[in-house]
Amino acid sequence: MSVGNLLKSTTTVAAAQDAATISGLPSVGSVGIQVTGTFSATITFEATVDGTNYVALNCLPSNSGTAASTATAVGAFTVSSGGYAAIRARCSAYTSGSPVLTVRYVGS
């Protein structure tokens, strides 16, 4: 992978619907999503083709072979960016704490 095409977004969640989003993905590549912090919340991974309508996106956790579209604990996830206009990690349910969401794209 080349670091020549690098996009990154980091958000500290303070409420439901806060999100870390990367858009304008220039080519097929890989996206890494990391969730850190101490919190009680649900983080939903989503993608859009048209730039407006987001749908759930299954990402592969670093510690499992089973893809997931949500996270309720810290972790690192990867997914291919092929064909998407944007990918985000969004807090879909928030109770407490400060989850930090980082989404990073690296082009092939």
**50 in a structural domain:** yes
**1 in a structural domain:** no
Mean per-residue pLDDT over the chain, rounded: 92
**93 in a structural domain:** yes
Q: What is the pTM of this model?
A: 0.92
Q: What is the pLDDT of residues 4-39, one digit of tens each?
A: 456 999 999 999 999 999 998 888 899 999 999 999
Kindly report the CATH number assigned to the domain that includes residue 41. Answer: 2.60.120
Q: Are 23 and 16 in contact (CB under 8 A)?
A: no
Q: Are 78 and 62 in contact (CB under 8 A)?
A: yes
